[in-house]
Amino acid sequence: MAAVSQVLKSEWTKIRSVRSTVWTLGIALVVTVALGALICLLASNDFGTMSPRDRATFDATAISFAGMGLGQLAMIVFGVLVVSNEYSTGMIRTSLAAVPQRGTFLFSKVAVATLLALVVSFVTAFLAFFIGQAMLGAHAASLGDRGVLRAVVGGGLYMTLIAVFSMGVATMLRSPMLALGILMPFFFLISTVLGNVSATEKIGWYLPDQAGQKVMQVVPPAGDEVPYGPWGGFAVMVAWTVAALVCGYVLLKRRDA
C-alpha cells in the first residue's frame, strides 16, 4: 500500500512539473466557458426569430455547453500528453524500472490524471452553466429545474471521460503524434460525418462522444430516435473508456518499453 502511495506521488509530480499538461486543462476551461457564453448570448438575441418548433425544443442547459465541443480538444491533448510524454522523452524505461508492476504504474498515472481532470471538468461545467444562463436572461434554466443538475454533473463527467479515453488510446499507441492523429479526426470528423449521414446515423449513436453528450441534454431534439436515455448514453461512453484502458494495459504488460 505504501508503494502505491509513493507511485501516486511520483505521478502527481510528473504531471504538475510538465507545463503543457497544466496549460491544456486551463485552455479547456477557458475555451468551454467563453465559447458557451458567446453562443448563449447569440441564442438569446435570436430567440425571437426562432420558429415555434425550435422554441419548443430549445435546451437552455445544453446550449451553455456549446463550447465543450472545442474544449474537449484540450482534454484530448491532456490525456495523450499525460501518458505519451514519457515515451517521447525516453523516461518510460526509468519509470518502469522503478515500478516494474505495470498495472500499478498505469493505475497510478490514470488515477492521478483522472482526479485532476475531474476537478477541472466540474469547475468548467458549473461555470459554463451559470455564465451561460446569465447570458440567456429570461430564457435561462435553473439548476433546480428537472434534469438540469444531472446535465451539469454529466457535463463534468463527460469531459473527464474524454481525457481518460484518450489516456487509454495513448497507452496503446505510445506515440503522441499517432494518438492525436487518430483521436482528432475520430472526434471532429469521423464521428460528425457518421452521425449526420442517414445511412450511418445509427452507428454514430454508439460512438463515445455522441453517446456521452446525451447526458448533457435536458430537452430532446426534435425527431430524436436514439434508443437510450441520458445515463444510457453515458454508460456507452464508459464502456468505450474501460475498453481503451484495458487494451492499453494488456499492450503495456506484453511489450517492451
- pLDDT tens by residue, 198-222: 888 899 899 999 999 999 999 888 7
Q: pLDDT class for 256, splitting at 50, 70, 90?
A: low
173: pLDDT strictly greater than 80: yes
Q: How many residues does the chain have?
A: 257
| DSSP-assigned states of every residue in 41-101 | HHHHHHGGGS-HHHHHT--HHHHTTTTHHHHHHHHHHHHHHHHHHHHHHTTHHHHHHH---
Mean pLDDT of 240-255: 93
C-alpha cell of 160? 473527464
**Weakest mean pLDDT among 37-41, 152-156, 198-202:** 198-202
Which residues make Cβ contacts (< 8 Å) with residue 91, sequence separation at least 6? Answer: 85
Mean pLDDT of 162-182: 94
Please tell me which of 15-19, 167-171, 216-220 the model is most confident about, judged by mean pLDDT. 167-171
Mean pLDDT of 168-193: 92
- Note if the pTM is more than 0.75: yes
HSE-up of 160 (CA within 13 Å, CB side)?
A: 23
Q: Which of 63, 70, 38, 35 is nearest to 159 (CA)?
A: 70
Q: pLDDT class for 257, splitting at 50, 70, 90?
A: low
Q: Are 211 and 132 in contact (CB under 8 A)?
A: no
Q: Share the mean pLDDT of the chain.
A: 90
Tell me how far apart the 2 most distant CA atoms of the chain are, in Å: 64
C-alpha cell of 79? 490525456
55: pLDDT strictly greater than 90: no
User: What are the tens digits of pLDDT across the range 131-145?
Assistant: 999 999 888 999 999
